[in-house]
Amino acid sequence: MAHRIENAMGPVSTISESTEQTAKQIAQPLTNHRFQQTLLSARRTMVWSEILKIALDSFRASKLRFALTALGMVIGTASVILVVTIGMTGKQFILNEIQKIGTNEIFLEYAGGGAASSGNDVYNDYLTRDDEKAVVAQVPGIMYSSPIIEMHDRISFGGGVVKDTLVLGVSPAYQQIRNLLVPYGRFIDDIDDAQHERVAVVTETFAKLRYGSDDAAVGREFSISGIPFLIIGVFKESVTDFGQSEIAEETIVVPISVARYFRGTEDVKEIYFSMGSMADVPDATREIKRIVGSRHRRNSVYNTQDLRDVLHVADTVSSILTAVLVLVSAVTLAVGGVGIMNIMLATVRSRIREIGIRKAMGATRREIRLQFLAEATIISLAGGVVGCIIGLSLPLSVRFFTDYPLLIPGMPASVTTAIL
């Protein structure tokens, strides 16, 4: 009976042993694979930490070489930031100066045509005050308007000096349209225009030549065509207008209600309009030309002008100049990068013994390359960070300690980061 049981258990025991051996054979490759993965991961972790440690030890051993190598990146990064900041500030300054001239301004003038004759007299189709009123009534967005009557008269400046001087007849809104500054006295107002007051506002050059100083001219009298006028103010333009202004160095401004008596007619050749927004200028320009054209003879020609083209050209030129300066400073940054490359190449040659020892200790070619690449990366990042700090600290200092509105946008830092 026992023999039978033993015979019966014999095959079962044999099957169990073979199954256990098979399981061990299957598990052993999996265990070896996992061990190799763990060993490789640990080895790679050790390699990167060792690489960084060796790079830092190398910098500590040769601090002067590290500082001189990073200096190129410091200068290049700081120069890019400073150039972009200065370029954008200069661009904004130019655009602001042009806007002071009057970018919302529309200039309407009679260019010719539409003439009619009666006997020996020829009548031109000039603009009138009624044209100004019609445009103001029909075109929305107009803030100010002023017709202009131009005359010339010979004015004595003393000492036997007589000059042919420009006299402009304008309305009180002319000051807002042309952004005129009145440092002494006041500009003509609605009461002066309505009551036909014989008052005048003169330029600073006129006041200095005739009376010796600006403030001395206020309250003095002089004659235009034998008619006495009282100087109530001295004015100047807020910015140089690049030759776009009708105002000369010696100019006299009088109420248009008085100037028309010298001309003997209500006709004017020019009318200025000022819009509330520069976006309204294109549509308003077309509408003004249409309205005025419909009120005059068909073959009369009326031209309109504004400063949008000047503003666009200035914007384009300043953007191009900024781009050129950024490219020049980027060359400095590239030179700094080439300097790092050359220093690292020279370092490789001077550290042949170190490389040989590391290879003898089991370092691979990849690990040695990573070591020098890590050193170059650390030098570049350190130089870039220091350059960013210097490049941003200088504009911030200027803005903090002075009243100059220096622009410090986020663009320079982003440009530098992209280049790095």
What is the C-alpha separation between 306 and 304, in angstroms, rounded?
A: 7
Q: In terms of C-beta density within 10 A (0-12 exposed, 13-18 middle, 19 or more buried), how is residue 176 classed?
A: middle
For the chain, the residue count is: 420
Residue scoring higher pLDDT (392 or 287)? 287
For the chain, give the longest Cα–Cα distance.
Answer: 158
Instruction: For residue 152, give every residue at least 6 positions away whose Cβ sits within 8 Å of its Cβ, in sequence order, or none.
Output: 164, 165, 166, 167
What's the token pair of residue 78? 């700081």
C-alpha separations of 127 from 162, 301, 352, 404 in Å: 32, 11, 89, 44
Q: What is the mean pLDDT of the chain?
A: 77
Q: Which 3-state string (H, E, C) describes the chain? A: CHHHHHHHHHHHHHHHHHHHHHHHHHHHHHHHHHHHHHHHHHHHHHHHHHHHHHHHHHHHHCHHHHHHHHHHHHHHHHHHHHHHHHHHHHHHHHHHHHHHHHCCEEEEEEEECCCEEECCEEECCCECHHHHHHHHHHCCCEEEEEEEEEEEEEEECCCCCEEEEEEEEECCCHHHHHCEEEEEECCCCHHHHHCCCCEEEEEHHHHHHHHCCHHHHCCCEEEECCEEEEEEEEEEECCCCCCCCCCCCCEEEEEHHHHHHHHCCCCECEEEEEECCHHHHHHHHHHHHHHHHHCCCCCCEEEEECCHHHHHHHHHHHHHHHHHHHHHHHHHHHHHHHHHHHHHHHHHHHCHHHHHHHHHCCCCHHHHHHHHHHHHHHHHHHHHHHHHHHHHHHHHHHHHHCCCCCCCCCHHHHHHHHHC
Examine the pLDDT at 168 and tell me if it is beyond 80. Answer: yes
Q: Which residue has the higher pLDDT, 247 or 329?
A: 247
Q: Parallel, antiparallel, or unpaired for β 199-203 and 251-255?
A: antiparallel
Q: Locate tokens 């991961």: which residue?
A: 41
| Backbone phi and psi for residue 155, each to the nearest 5 degrees, phi listed first | -110, 135
Chain centroid to CA 196: how far?
46
User: CB-hemisphere CA count at 13 Å for 97?
Assistant: 12
Structure-token pair, residue 416: 């530098």
Q: Could you tell me if 125 and 110 are in contact, meaning their C-beta atoms sit under 8 angstroms apart? A: yes
Report the C-alpha gap between 102 and 100 in whole angstroms: 5
Highest mean pLDDT among 35-44, 82-91, 245-254: 245-254
Asked whether the predicted pLDDT for residue 118 surpasses 70, the reply is no
Residues 134-145 have a mean pLDDT of 91
Question: How sure is the predictor about 419, in pLDDT bands with cuts at 50, 70 and 90?
Answer: very low
Q: How far apart are the first and last CA of the chain?
A: 89
Q: Out of 131-145, 173-187, 258-272, 327-341, which region has the weakest mean confidence (pLDDT)? A: 327-341
Q: Could you give the CA distance from residue 394 to residue 386 in angstroms, rounded to a whole number?
A: 13
Predicted confidence at residue 378, as pLDDT, reads 82
At 91, the pLDDT band (50, 70, 90 cuts) reads confident
More confident residue, 103 or 163: 163
Contact 47, 367 (CB under 8 A): yes
pLDDT of amino acid 5: 43
Q: Over pLDDT 90: what percentage of the chain?
A: 19
> What is the pLDDT, as a whole number, of residue 416?
40
Distance CA 202, CA 167 (A): 9
Quote the pLDDT of residue 409.
Answer: 54
Greater model confidence, 80 or 95: 80
pTM of the model: 0.59
pLDDT of 6 over the 50 cut: no
The pLDDT score that the predictor gives to residue 281 is: 85
Pairing of strands 227-237, 199-203: parallel
Assign 420 a pLDDT band (cuts: 50, 70, 90). very low
Check: CB of residue 315 under 8 Å from CB of residue 92.
no
Smallest CA-to-CA distance from 185 within 126, 151, 136, 234 is with: 234
- pLDDT tens, position by position, 96-113: 776 666 668 888 988 877
Q: Which of 30-34, 100-104, 255-259 has the lowest mean pLDDT?
A: 30-34
Share of residues in the chain with pLDDT > 70 (%) = 75
The C-alpha angle with vertex 134 and arms to 129 and 136, in degrees rounded to 5, equals: 95
- Average pLDDT on 360-369 reads 75
pLDDT digits (tens, 9 = 90+) for 55-87: 777 777 777 777 777 787 788 788 788 887 887
